[in-house]
Amino acid sequence: MPLEVERKYLHVDLQALRQTLADSGAHCLGAHFESNWVFDAPDRALLESGRLLRLRSQEWPDRTRHVLTLKRPAPASGYYKVREELETTVEDGPTLHAILAGLGYTVTARYEKVREPWRLEDVEVELDALSFIDVVELEGLAAHIDSVQRRLALDKAIISTKSYHELHQEWLRQNHQPPQFSFVFDAAQRAAWRQKLGLPADIPAPDAPGGENTVSEPSHVME
């Protein structure tokens, strides 16, 4: 199974980083809007075994892509976050959601982000905007990640191997808010981002596909 090797960087000046990326010859692959649904069995078998089953919809002005992903934990690597990952593109996201529901899977969390991917030295440099934080993520071979980190001066930033779920739980605690296992944009944020990306403002309701129906158990392996 392919390995996903990544590292996150927190509290980075994204505008300055865009300029550094452009000056370094990086290629922007096009920002898009992401909607993600995390599934599990009624007995939470996936959560208990550290696995993640996710359906993702990615929207650009001219197309939409649906991706089904299975992630499994790999041996600990300390400085990097490493996961075993299998994913495949599917033509019809809502139908796949219905299939998963028919098999007994339920949505345990939902999250949204705007992702702006760049490519530099065979490394994906992903600028992620979420409802509660902006994050830079490097994904690629470990040696290449180290090289790109130095070129972009990211070694001066706060480095994290935590999942977005874990970062969200930290943010909630710091802001004295109760646990929430979904993190989506509010209506105003969503409308502003979609307008900026050239996307229609009227997106499918949260329940299609997947919805915001969450349970009282987190998906610790989320991203």
pLDDT tens string 26-53: 999 999 999 999 999 999 999 999 999 9
Q: Report DSSP state, residue 140.
A: S
* Vertex 70 angle, CA 136 and 45, to 5°: 115
Please report the pLDDT score of residue 1 as a whole number: 54
Q: How confident is the model at residue 206 (pLDDT cuts 50, 70, 90)?
A: very low
Domain ranges in the chain?
3-197
pTM: predicted TM-score of the whole model, two decimal places:
0.88
Say whether domain 3-197 belongs to CATH 3.90.1640.30.
no
The residue type at 19: Q
DSSP H or E run through 135? strand 134-139
Are the C-beta atoms of 6 and 80 separated by less than 8 Å? yes
Tokens 């790109």 belong to residue: 148
Give 208's pLDDT tier (boundaries 50, 70, 90): very low
Q: What is the pLDDT averaged over residues 159-187?
A: 95
User: Is residue 213 very low, low, confident or very high in pLDDT (cuts 50, 70, 90)?
Assistant: very low
Q: Which helix (H) or strand (E) holds 67?
A: strand 63-73
Predicted local confidence at residue 211, as pLDDT: 41
Residue 117 binned pLDDT confidence (cut-offs 50, 70, 90): very high
pLDDT value of position 4: 76
For 81-110, what is each residue's pLDDT tens digit?
888 899 999 999 999 999 999 999 999 999
Three-state SS at 5: strand
**Dist CA 223 CA 220 (whole Å):** 9
Q: What is the pLDDT of residue 73?
A: 82
Give long-range contacts, CB 8 A cutoff, 24+ apart: 167-170. Answer: 167/8, 167/10, 167/132, 167/133, 167/135, 168/111, 168/130, 168/132, 169/218
Residues 62, 127, 38, 215: what is their CA dihedral angle, to the nearest 10 degrees?
-120
Mean pLDDT of the chain: 90
What's the CA gap between 64 and 21, in Å, rounded? Answer: 26
